[in-house]
Structure 1
């Protein structure tokens, strides 16, 4: 049986399109039909059928005329509901923005990928206002993790629909945002690849913010090579410029503090098995304490969380008006914590952030850092929906490892490395310092097969 187009990697599908084996219109029609037939209706908030078919027809004509725009021409992509799409309100997974003014133009990244020939097929569900690593949404439903065979399990957030759309084979790639782990968490929990770029690497115009000191972008897809292709187009490049790495050994640091606290045995086993494979392949592994990892939670306990301070500043008026009653009460509760963070606290957080980035850069240097993307596999949805205390505790644990990288301005790639409890996916997070994206993507490409085992 032929694999559905949405279940292919970008590279697989691109080869078929560029050689004329399949037509972009047929691909788009099949992808849209697959989305509509998929039983879980919480994955997409809206489909962009007319736009998608128009873009596919334009791609088809270019290819027939010998004017391909490159590797991504005709490839379908889904967009997290944070990105402006011309003519539609950007609802950010909320009900309160449904009546917002329609976007006058596409977000900068949406436009750049359109210029690369990509076909926008729909907008994916997410945690409301991107403020949760769990992925539960009371307004549009919670997308179910396609790997959960026993009970409905969380997708991870906040890029929940984007991850499920790829993992379920509906689209080859979907776009996400990452403020505390919102690309890497759902990628890990759904067994796909997720790349979070260094903050500022990609244009943020037309992307609904959560916390501008932490927000970054990146694709959720099937392979690291796919992520490299998308990253290039996101920066306006006509072709990828990330070189493949020679077979020199990777130099990897594994933190001994914080990142394994409370980790499920199955997650640790899968992660350590991947490390063992890397060592046998020649990687140099060093286990060290990273002092910043202890300081960051202590700083949050004393001063508050940076994301909470900035989210409260963004939503302050909304929280004091009637719209608060229409929001997810868990998002409201978390955001209101920002009211307690004073200006001196906020300044102290930013000053400490700058110091910890410098100190950690001096400690790590050009080495890569590896840890489990998430300390647990995707838990069942039902208990988290019923119990707020469990929800907040689980959310903190889910964000625990990835949020450290956001605070330090790291870039990171989550790669599937095996399974844990209930045969659910485990993610291997490889990170590098700010603006080391090219080196990180090279390293992730070179070790992906070994990590996957």
Structure 2
């Protein structure tokens, strides 16, 4: 049986479109039919059916006339619910913004990918204001992890709907943002690829912020190759400058502190098996301590988290007014913690960050870093919805590994590496210091099949 269009990779779908074997209008109609039939109605917050059909018709005409804009012309994409879409209010997963004025134009990245010929399908659900790694949303519902066949399990957040839309085979790619792990966490928990670019690699104009010192973005898709193609288009390129690096001789360092604390046995086993496969394929594996990790956690305990301080600054007026009553109580509780971070402490955090970034870059050198994207598989939703203490503890553990990279300004790619408890996916996180995205993606292109092993 032929795969649904939404379940294909970007590269597979591109071949069909550019060869004339599939028409963008046919693809878009099939995509919406799949979304309409899918039982989980919490994945999307808005569908852009009229816009998508119009864009598909334009793509179809271009390709038929021999004027294709490139490999991404006619490819559908979904957007996390904090990217501006012309004519719509940007709600960021919250009901308190539903009455906001419609935006006059698309976010800059939406415009860039439209210029590449990509077709906007809709907006995907998310943790309210992007402030949770679990993906639970009391306003629009919580998208269910497609791999959770025993009980409903979390999608991971905050780009929850984006990950589920791809993992469920509804769209080939969705765009997310990542402030503490919001691309890599849901990618890992849903068994797909997720690329978090270096902060500042793309413009954030028209993207609702969380913490501007940490905010970045990137695609959730099926393969690293798809991410590489999307990355190129976001820079206005028709072909990527990224080249696959020979796997033999690539140096990969595995931190020994913090990131394996409390790791589930199944996650550790899947990660270790992937490391062994990499070593057999010629990668040079080393193990080392990352002192920065312990210093980051100590600073958070002493001064509070950088993301929390900046989130409070962003939302302080909202939290002081009646809107707070209409927000997720756990988002309100976590954001208010930022009020405790005094100005001297905030400055101390920034100074610490600058020092640790420099020290870590010297320690890492030309190596890549590898550790589990998340120390556990996706847990059940129900207990987290009713037990706030469990929610807080699980959220902190879920965010821990990826948030270290945000603080140190790393780029990273989460690749499925196997399964853990209950047959749920495990993510293998490859990271590199800031602005080494090309080297990271080139290595990930070569390593992906080895890391995945038997995981499809």
Q: TM-score, length-normalised on structure 1?
A: 1.00
**Are 1:232 and 2:268 an aligned pair?**
no
**1:112-151 residue pairs with structure 2 within 5 A?**
112-151=112-151
2:87 and 2:142 map into 1 onto residues whose CA distance is 26
1:64 aligns to what? 64
1:246 Cα deviation from its structure 2 partner: 3.1
| 3-state SS of paired residue (2:427) | strand
1:246 and 1:93 map into 2 onto residues whose CA distance is 41
| 3-state SS of paired residue (2:345) | helix
1:395 and 1:249 map into 2 onto residues whose CA distance is 37
* Runs of at least 5 residues in structure 2 that lack an aligned partner in the other structure: none
1:452 aligns to what? 452
**1:81-160 residue pairs with structure 2 within 5 A?**
81-160=81-160
1:33 and 1:346 map into 2 onto residues whose CA distance is 49
| 3-state SS of paired residue (2:97) | coil
1:247 Cα deviation from its structure 2 partner: 4.4
Cα shift readout 1:117-142 (whole Å, capped 9, x = no counterpart): 00000100000000000000000000
**1:49-448 residue pairs with structure 2 within 5 A?**
49-448=49-448
1:248 and 1:161 map into 2 onto residues whose CA distance is 37
1:366 Cα deviation from its structure 2 partner: 1.0
| 3-state SS of paired residue (1:208) | coil
1:82 and 1:100 map into 2 onto residues whose CA distance is 13
1:245 Cα deviation from its structure 2 partner: 1.6
2:247 and 2:386 map into 1 onto residues whose CA distance is 50
* Runs of at least 5 residues in structure 1 that lack an aligned partner in the other structure: none
Cα shift readout 1:85-135 (whole Å, capped 9, x = no counterpart): 000000000000000010100000000000000000010000000000000
1:250 Cα deviation from its structure 2 partner: 1.4
Cα shift readout 1:382-432 (whole Å, capped 9, x = no counterpart): 000010000000000000100000000000000000000000000000000
RMSD: 0.5
2:304 and 2:246 map into 1 onto residues whose CA distance is 44
Aligned structure 1 segments of 4 or more residues deviating by more than 3 angstroms: none
Number of paired residues?
Answer: 453
Cα shift readout 1:10-46 (whole Å, capped 9, x = no counterpart): 0000000000000000000000111111000000001
| 3-state SS of paired residue (1:401) | helix
**1:25-36 residue pairs with structure 2 within 5 A?**
25-36=25-36
1:240 Cα deviation from its structure 2 partner: 1.2
1:235 and 1:307 map into 2 onto residues whose CA distance is 27
1:249 Cα deviation from its structure 2 partner: 1.9
1:8 aligns to what? 8
Q: Is the 8 A contact 2:311 2:338 kept in 1?
A: yes
2:332 and 2:317 map into 1 onto residues whose CA distance is 12
Cα shift readout 1:362-397 (whole Å, capped 9, x = no counterpart): 100110000000000000000000100000000000
1:235 and 1:322 map into 2 onto residues whose CA distance is 41
| 3-state SS of paired residue (1:26) | helix
1:248 Cα deviation from its structure 2 partner: 3.4
1:244 Cα deviation from its structure 2 partner: 2.1
1:254 Cα deviation from its structure 2 partner: 0.2
2:65 and 2:203 map into 1 onto residues whose CA distance is 31
Q: TM-score, length-normalised on structure 2?
A: 0.99
| 3-state SS of paired residue (2:254) | strand
Cα shift readout 1:34-80 (whole Å, capped 9, x = no counterpart): 11110000000010000000000000000010000000000000000
1:240 and 1:159 map into 2 onto residues whose CA distance is 25
1:243 Cα deviation from its structure 2 partner: 1.6
2:185 and 2:383 map into 1 onto residues whose CA distance is 19
| 3-state SS of paired residue (2:384) | helix
1:38 aligns to what? 38
